[in-house]
Amino acid sequence: MLLLCLCSVVLSSCLAHHLPFGRAGANPNQKLLTADQSVLVEAIARQYNAIHDFNATVDMAPSVGSAEKNQITEYKDVRAYIYFRKPAEILILGLAPVLRTKVFQMVSNGTDFKLYLPTQSSFIVGRNEVVAPSTNKLANLRPQHFVDAMLVHPVDPATERLTMLNLTDENNAFYILVVLHEQEGKIIPARSIWFSRVDLEMARQLIFDPNGNILTDARYSQWHSYDNVAFPKHIEINRPRDEYGMIIDIVKMDINKGVTDDKFVLNQPEGTTLKVLGEAPATLPNTTPPLPRKKK
């Protein structure tokens, strides 16, 4: 009996050691937050519905390549201006460091896009879907990719199914909403939306193709209030199939202050070469200047 008591004391005082978990964004003693599926679905809808339009000044760090090919090339930051208006109009203007010369300009109405690359004297138009990725990685840029990444769309109960996972271990603490679609009698994942259990903020969104391959991997952090609307100050967007990525850091942002029609006009500059990718857009350059707005 004495031996058992001694062993008990030794085991409890010498061999037991409590190890705090050092999860990103949390102190070791912080308790994880809990939420059910309905709370997270409501949070997505609330954040999306709070934004009608915005204009933002951002620093962008583009990269080309992919993790699958073990080769990624990062470029210097560019200053960019983003104008967005629902349902899907967006214009992005990228300027080179120091000289602030135009690196790229692209506009989309949600269906068609126009992309101007001044250094290549190239003006590219087409539909938003990338049918065959270009060897020129910057030509794979699509404004709609930024819209889908920056604004997480609400879950549609009429067309989408939903399940929830709890990924909590020594290094991670996430709730993951998996959005499912039915296609040709099969249930396939369409996207997954991750919430940090440290603060219940959206931390990541993965968008998949019908075969389960990642189309977009968007990560969100440093949530901040702009005009009383929460929005992530730091966004990382990766498009592995198109072999490009973009890190966006917001410098200044105005939400729901109104964006005028002229912000979404992009005509083909003289002396540039027109290239049509895939199916031609509804309106070719130098006919009707703005793209027609996508109907709600």
What is the tens place of the pLDDT at every residue in 174-217?
999 999 998 888 899 999 999 999 999 999 999 999 999 999 99
257 phi and psi angles, rounded to 5 deg: -100, -5
pLDDT of residue 289: 47
pLDDT of residue 214: 95
Instruction: Decide if pLDDT at 47 tops 60.
Output: yes
Q: Are 255 and 281 in contact (CB under 8 A)?
A: no
pLDDT of residue 274: 94
3-class state of residue 263 by DSSP: helix
**Neighbouring C-alpha atoms within 13 Å toward the C-beta of 158:** 0
Instruction: Decide if pLDDT at 285 tops 90.
Output: no
pLDDT of residue 264: 94
Dist CA 177 CA 179 (whole Å): 6
pLDDT of residue 2: 56
- More confident: 1 or 46: 46
CATH topology of domain 37-277: outer membrane lipoprotein receptor (LolB), chain A (2.50.20)
Consecutive H or E run containing 30: none
pLDDT of residue 99: 76
pLDDT of residue 183: 83
Dump pLDDT digits (tens) for 122-178. 999 988 876 666 666 666 778 888 899 999 999 999 999 999 999 999 899 999 999
Chain centroid offset of residue 115 CA: 19
The rounded mean pLDDT for the chain is: 84
Domain boundaries, the chain: 37-277
**Residue 69 — very low, low, confident or very high, per pLDDT cuts 50/70/90?**
low
**Residue 24 — very low, low, confident or very high, per pLDDT cuts 50/70/90?**
low
Out of 80-84, 212-216, 242-246, 263-267, least confident range: 242-246
Closest CA to 193 of 240, 233, 153, 159: 153
